Amino acid sequence: MQPSRPTLLIVDDDPSIQTLMRFILQTAFTVHTAADGAIALQIARSLPIDGVVLDLNLPGVSGWDVARTLQQEAPQLPILVVTGRYNRPEEVLQNVAGSTAALIKPFDPLDLITEVQGMLAAHPPSWRGPGRLMAVHAGALAGGADGQRR
């Protein structure tokens, strides 16, 4: 039995960028996509996700809000912000709560692969598993991060 491949959620409202990232990453990862922040949060809460590749400028719920929400609900979930809004990755990491890594658009496809692999390597998979984010979210709604009612 082969080990399961890491699962990524790609969030970008530009169909060509989303398609490009999916094409680049799908050979090594299981990939889910979302074109807006609300759908991204739905997917992250319902599927086991190992990492998120996130654009900041999204319709509806912004990438900033997605990153902040995911940081609150699953602080161990790594988030790679891919944006053209900043000039240096350090600026992204300083300004986007919840970001783990950053890549500036336009990007080299090899840089995307390197950043995703590095992001996942830096965050051990021990916390991951089916429904983990959903359990954390439900626990927060019930009054405790461990899902216990208080």
pLDDT tens for residues 27-47? 999 999 999 999 999 999 999
CA distance 101 to 92: 8
Question: What does the pLDDT look like over 71-122, one tens digit per residue?
Answer: 999 999 999 999 999 889 999 998 888 899 999 999 999 999 999 999 999 9
The alpha-carbon radius of gyration of the chain (Å, integer) is: 15
Structure tokens at 97: 């709560």
CA distance 37 to 13: 9
Q: Considering the domain delimited by 7-142, tell me its CATH architecture.
A: 3-Layer(aba) Sandwich (3.40)
CA distance 124 to 78: 10
Structure tokens at 113: 């692969």
> Is the confidence at residue 15, as pLDDT, over 80?
yes
Residue type, 104: I
- Residue 126 DSSP label: G
pLDDT given at position 52? 97
Mean pLDDT taken over the chain: 85
Residue type, 65: D
- Residue 57 DSSP label: -
pLDDT given at position 4? 81
Q: What global pTM score does this model have?
A: 0.82
Q: At what angle do helices 132-142 and 37-46 cross, to 10 degrees?
A: 100
